[in-house]
Chains A and B, each alone.
Chain A
Amino acid sequence: MTDRGASIKFGLAALAVFVLMAWVFGWFPPMWEWLKTRNWGLLDQQIINGVQLGSIYALIALGYTMVYGVLRLINFAHGEVYMVGAFIAYYIAEVWFEKNSINIWLLLTMMIFGSMIVCAALGVTIERIAYRPLRNAPRISILITAIGVSLFLQQSLLLVFRVSPPPSITEQVNPFDRIKVDWPLFGELTFAGGQLAMFGMSIVLMIVLWWFVTRTKTGRAMRAVSHDFSTAALMGIDVNKVVTITFIIGSALAGAAAMMNATALGTPLKTDYGLLPGVKAFVAAVLGGIGNIPGAVLGGFLMGVAELMVVWAGYDMYRDAVAFVILIFVLLFKPTGLLGSTAVEKA
């Protein structure tokens, strides 16, 4: 491993060469032209939207990063837990909205808690059945098990879809869209009510999580297990209980994110609903330094903003690729992520 000074020097040198090349080959005039043609008026709006999207990524990334912190496991089934959360929210909405007598706020509360509870139960079940028997097995086998579980959930959902097609009633259910908040300070900046509520709710959830992890006894146990699994067990911490709680919290956050995404953004429900958000959130967790809770939030927001900046720049096609490009560049210069510990991991 080279030291950090060398990598910074290397990075600066690469940057200098790039700028020189750009100047030599005359990229600057076209670049200025390109910059002039962008829609600068939309930039602030897109950043706001990016932060809102990032809050979803951050919530999912928290589940990834917490599970990784405790078990050193990439939980590939997490994206599918997210998908099931959206599924539950949709079906709760379909079953109850038909009756039309239900208060919309009550319905929304039911949706978010319903999907959180079902996701938590699902996450715990997956951990019990698929991960716990393999606790001492090679890590790659647990990874394959996680992939198997994720495929199983996807394909089972496809089976259900064949019988009853996915509902699409978000426009009726979402009451937030009637609210539009203008922010006079910045002129034309508007917030869709749904996105604002989504953002607020995810911030609340993150603060609650932060309080839980840093201020409660269970949270301290969780940090201890994450620091050193076997020593924590020796010190009398019930490791299995901590792992279960980790899965409950992570999956419930994914469920909340799914419900908010489904109602506020109205993404249509498909079997690959959880695939790309899941992978992007995982990338966000790695970007922030996997196993690190503030890192996951930071990474999630960065991903969201970067994605919508690419959309703003007019490269809609590449919005899914930008997450990975940023990740590769960050990891090349900081191999343990932005806030990750510098300890060398032994694979």
Chain B
Amino acid sequence: MTTARIWLVRLLSLGAVILFLWLLQTKISPALGFLDNRLIQIGLLYATLAVSLNLINGITGQFSIGHAAFYQIGAYTSAIVSIHYYRTGTIEPWVWLLLMIIVGAVAAAMAGFVVGLPSLRLRGDYLAVVTLGFGEIVRIIIQAQESLGGSYGLTVSASNSDAPLKIAPMWMFAALAIFVIAVCRNLLKTAHGLPFLAVREDELAASAMGVNTTLTKVTAFVLGAAFAGMAGALFSHYEGFITLKQFDMNQSFLILAMVVIGGTGSITGAALAGFFLYLLPESLRDLPDVSGYAVFGFAISVVIVLIVSSKTRRYVRLTSPGAGQTLFMIFGLVGVLGALFMGFWIWSQEVPRMTQFSVSVLAVGLACAMLFTRKRMPNLAGLGWIVLCFGAIIALTYPAIQGLQSNAFTSNLLGEISYRAGNLRFPLFSATLVVVMLTRPQGLLGHHEFSWDWVKKLFGLPHKSKELAG
């Protein structure tokens, strides 16, 4: 491509981004309700955070598990600056917010520098525990400060009013996510990004080839932290009220899980996983009430599916190598999900227990048969395993359920009191985490970037296999 054409493409994509942001702010956002808006905004925020951690963890291979600390530092610093210096009416809110994002980025980048320094001497799990410890230290120090609200939380307000400052517009979230993704992508596309990958693959070899590993690692920490600080500043000016609970260890783990599930080192993977892993538990919030038996039935279905799939996977590998596996996996996934929901639904109905149980077992069995049967004949050994598992489970669990019903404590737990299904979202979420890791240890996209190739491959269209470095 000629230089002029490259510039044309750049200008056009910039224009497209601006058009998209304008559409988002003026057309899409007003059409949605408050909750939908919030879901999208926070989802984009998590996508930003996941991509920023991916830079440290996935691309540079430095094992950092305290990312919420940088997020927190950005949020608190910008909040304090706003509380002391922002006067409503003096400056456009979004301009001020841009300034605050820079402030948050600088503060978090300094923290990233401090954390990046030990990474020169420590590696692997030792570095992980130091980053974790840093996160905890930051949280505890903030908790001890009265002026930062301590454990009560901090209201972000202007200096001349007490009302919480909620000035983050929708387009800003999208713009920040796009900015961070673009920086990471361009970093990898240019020669500046190659040292990061080299350090990940083999630090010793990289330094032997003349890569300044010290500079590379510290840069990764500083950049990743700065991005997280930006997200933090945006978050504090969106919520108007921040508490320590929003930045605790579980938050760090959640961001890390997003990166790993998306595929360590894959920018698109991190962004997609960040967005959808936030939406997953939130979208389960409004489910109707269910009885304890439904929960129990669901748990049993999960266990059955796990056992059967672990026993039959090796036969699947033997019988169906190579082609057709993608289609096969999709059918299997749909089948398993269908079975799980069917089991869930049947257990929540008020029909005699044994009927419920046998029907839900049958449903799960059907789904598993779908999962482990190719277009041709099912492998007899695999089928044998399935039947065996179901036989054992029916034989074992029916008396167990009767036992649970006859005991006062457990029948109280399971039967009389119904759960709000919304409360089940975090157990479900964490179970999903485990299942995804068990089935795809490399993450959903592995080291690859997202592409439509697999869809094309599915329908037999021409495609080219393209891989990013790594």
Q: Which residues of A contact B (CB under 8 A)?
A: 1-2, 68, 72, 74, 76, 129-130, 133-134, 137-138, 140-145, 147-149, 151-152, 155-156, 158-160, 162-164, 275, 279, 282-283, 286, 290, 317-318, 320-321, 323-325, 327-328, 331-332, 335-337, 345-347
Contact = CB atoms under 8 A, between A and B. Distances in A.
Interface string B123-161: 111111110111011001101100000000000000000
B137 A325 contact: yes
Contacts of B288: none
B427 A279 contact: no
Nearest to A327: B133
Nearest to A2: B121
B274 interface: no
23 contacts: A1-B121, A134-B438, A134-B441, A140-B57, A144-B257, A144-B261, A145-B434, A145-B438, A148-B430, A148-B434, A151-B250, A151-B253, A159-B295, A159-B419, A162-B419, A164-B413, A282-B129, A320-B136, A321-B140, A323-B133, A327-B130, A331-B129, A347-B61
Contacts of B306: 129
A2 B141 CA distance: 32
B424 to A, nearest CB: 7
- In this complex, the member of A143, A337, A347 whose beta carbon has the largest number of chain B beta carbons within 10 angstroms is A347
A331 B413 contact: no
Nearest to B123: A347
A271 to B, nearest CB: 10
B132 A147 contact: no
B229 interface: no
A273 to B, nearest CB: 14
Interface in B102-130: 118, 121-130
B431 interface: yes
A155 B419 CA distance: 13
Contact of A160 (B250, B413, B424): B413
B17 interface: no
Contacts of A290: 125
B140 A163 contact: no
Contact of B433 (A144, A164, A283): A144
A108 to B, nearest CB: 22
B437 A148 contact: yes
Nearest to A126: B434
Interface in B257-273: 257, 260-261, 264
For the complex, would chain A's binding face be called helix, strand, loop or mixed by DSSP majority? helix
B417 interface: yes
A133 B310 contact: yes
Nearest to A287: B129
B345 interface: no
Contacts of B127: 347
B364 interface: no
A347 B63 contact: yes
Given A286-B129, A327-B133, A149 B442 contact: no
Contact of B426 (A151, A163, A327): A151
B406 interface: no
Contact of A152 (B130, B427, B442, B443): B427
B356 to A, nearest CB: 21
B250 A331 contact: no
Contacts of A155: 426-427, 430
B429 interface: yes
Nearest to B426: A155
B423 interface: yes
A252 to B, nearest CB: 23
Nearest to B125: A74
Contacts of B128: 74
B203 to A, nearest CB: 8
A313 to B, nearest CB: 14
B130 A331 contact: yes
Contacts of A317: 140, 143-144
Contacts of B122: 331, 335
A152 B260 contact: no
Contacts of B257: 144, 147-148
B464 to A, nearest CB: 27
B426 A328 contact: no
Given A163-B412, A164-B412, A152 B434 contact: yes
A323 B264 CA distance: 30
Interface string B83-104: 0000000000000000000000
A134 B413 contact: no
A162 B423 contact: yes
Contacts of B126: 286, 331, 335-337, 345
A155 B422 CA distance: 12
